[in-house]
């Protein structure tokens, strides 16, 4: 009779290996890295890094235009459309009955697109 724990042996080995690598990284970085002054990190260490460009407005309470959020939502909407369309197009010959579901999906997206267009979401400068 086979041992029931045998299928989980590779998982246990992987778990032990991951914990060992994490512990080794922590120990090696603690030994090799230079010690920083804990009470005086300096202005350079405390400032956020954004592609080498200095921060325009200090603080976390920077106000963004509503168009920024609208652009982000439209990007997500059409990105999801592409993420669903590509696998469906690849498998269309194997499952032609899904054509009606995709037409309904595109009709819903078309209604959203027309609504966004009517509200002026695609006009970047007014």
Residue with tokens 């194997």: 94
pTM of the model: 0.43
What local confidence, expressed as pLDDT, does residue 116 receive?
A: 83
Domain ranges of the chain: 66-118
Query: 120: which residues sit within 8 A by CB, 6+ positions away?
Result: 126
**69-106 pLDDT, tens digit each:** 888 888 888 888 888 888 888 888 888 888 898 889 88
- Averaged pLDDT of the chain: 80
Query: 45: which residues sit within 8 A by CB, 6+ positions away?
Result: 36
Q: How far apart are CA 74 and CA 67, in angstroms?
A: 10
Q: How far apart are CA 85 and CA 102, in angstroms?
A: 8
């Amino acid at each position: 009779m086979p041992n029931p724990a045998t299928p989980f042996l590779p998982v246990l080995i992987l778990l032990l290996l991951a914990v060992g690598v994490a512990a080794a990284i922590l120990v090696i970085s603690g030994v090799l890295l230079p010690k920083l002054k804990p009470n005086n990190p300096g202005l350079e260490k405390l400032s956020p890094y954004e592609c080498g460009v200095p921060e325009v407005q200090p603080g976390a309470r920077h106000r963004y235009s509503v168009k920024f959020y609208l652009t982000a939502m439209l990007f997500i909407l059409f990105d999801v459309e592409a993420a669903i369309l590509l696998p469906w197009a690849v498998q269309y010959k194997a499952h032609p009955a899904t054509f009606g579901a995709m037409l309904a999906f595109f009709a819903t997206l078309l209604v959203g697109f027309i609504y966004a267009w009517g509200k002026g979401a695609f006009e970047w400068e007014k």
